[in-house]
Amino acid sequence: MGAGVGLLLTLALAAVLLTALPKDHDREGGGTCTARTVRSWSNDTKLTNSFAAYGDDETRADDWTGGDGTHSVRLPDGRLLWLFSDTYLGQVHGPPNPVGESYAWRDTTAPLVRNSAVVMRDGKPQLTLPAPLFPDPAPNEWRWPVAARVEPRSPGSAESVVRVLLWTRTVGQYPWIYGVPTATEVATLSLPDLRVESIVKVFDQQLVQDPSRRVQFGTTLVAAGGWTYVFGGNDAQAAARPTSSAYVARVPEGRLGEPGAWEYWDGSAWTARAGPSPVLGDGQRIGVGSAFSVMRDGGTYVLFTMAAGSRGLTTVTSYWACSPTGPWHGPTGSLSPPLPQGQVAAYNPQVHTALDGDGRIVLSYDVNWLDATAYSAALNLSRNVSLYRPRFVTLRLGPPPR
């Protein structure tokens, strides 16, 4: 009899605790959360070819002919703004190229700028804004644009602006041939003319002595429940470590450009203290590249990144979670998109939600020459202009196979 009463009390207490705990569909962002993985994918040759045709167009000598760091944001008037990091301008020639290969090419003196923005309308790139759009903050420093969103100029405002996350990098020595992470900034662009109004530093990392532990936010963002969740990563791979870690911050809608409005996940709670803890990454099998992408599928958050280990040069994998802070499940759902011939690598998988529809998700990936020296890579990218342009696939998500 006593044992039966004790069992009833235990069950009752368990029921109370379960009721008090947040359910998956009650977590940040709302919606029903279910396991998701990549179930199928195919090449999006139409979108890939649209950038190839724009880059090859010889009408102008000051427009985009190739770039990486591909991000996009839909503007209120229907245009799509594409943001790129290191970008070649100039003109494209050929084929054949000077060494007789059947590739279109650009002269090695073609201008290279640290960032650019291309405006697309009706599925076709039409205009390169004056480049670089975001000026260098200081000698030997530059800005790479990453994720962006349209939001109210301030909370409740009827006027919208474009907020662009920027990574500030500083010239460094090997292995930091692509620069040392320095800070995260936010630029405000006016609408509809896309004029840079201001640039504000929101997360400074210069006091972190080990560059591989410096975190830069903005590789991707997700808007949900009145918040903008901004994801970031460190550059552990640049220091020959297996994988990087993912971090997340959140900002109320309309306040991305206010450093004091940012909150960081410290492992147990959101805090204004700028000392975030990773939400994904164990330094071995589980982790992200320094550039990855996150989207919402219903109430599920899905993360795309290059795979850990040697597959990280060719293979995109995914994770899923019911909250931006995790726990993240995976890796699962890998895909190996096509790569051109040569000593090349894929990187920076990015979801373009403005192009999604009917269950179809558009994912881009960048391609670069794989070489330890920047000079050799630049030479090969000029010899074959198709190497340094975004490529696209479309994919569909579904529950993991049983």
Listing DSSP states for 338-356 in one string gives: ---SSSEEEEEEEE-GGG-
Residue 50: its pLDDT value, please? Answer: 97
Read off the pLDDT of each residue in 47-73 and give the average, rounded to a whole number: 94
Q: How confident is the model at residue 238 (pLDDT cuts 50, 70, 90)?
A: low
Between residues 160 and 61, the one the model is more confident about: 160
Residue 308: its pLDDT value, please? Answer: 83
Q: Which residues contact 95 (CB under 8 A, 6 or more apart)?
A: 101, 102, 103, 104, 105
DSSP-derived letter for residue 260 is G
- Percent over 70 (pLDDT), the chain: 90
Q: How confident is the model at residue 14 (pLDDT cuts 50, 70, 90)?
A: very low
Read off the pLDDT of each residue in 93-111 and give the average, rounded to a whole number: 89
Residue 24: its pLDDT value, please? Answer: 36
Which amino acid, one-letter code, is at 85? S
List, for residues 333-354, the tens digit of each pLDDT value. Answer: 899 999 988 889 999 999 999 9
Distance between CA 214 and CA 224 in Å, rounded?
26
DSSP-derived letter for residue 25 is G
Q: How confident is the model at residue 26 (pLDDT cuts 50, 70, 90)?
A: very low
Residue 108: its pLDDT value, please? Answer: 87
Read off the pLDDT of each residue in 236-245 and give the average, rounded to a whole number: 68
Q: Which residues contact 129 (CB under 8 A, 6 or more apart)?
A: 116, 117, 118, 119, 194
Q: How confident is the model at residue 54 (pLDDT cuts 50, 70, 90)?
A: very high
- Residues 250 and 324: beta-carbon distance below 8 Å: yes
Q: Strand pairing partners for 168?
A: 143, 183
Structural domains of the chain, with CATH = 27-398 (2.115.10.20)
Residue 373: its pLDDT value, please? Answer: 65
Distance between CA 331 and CA 304 in Å, rounded?
9
Between residues 177 and 207, the one the model is more confident about: 207
Residue 99: its pLDDT value, please? Answer: 86
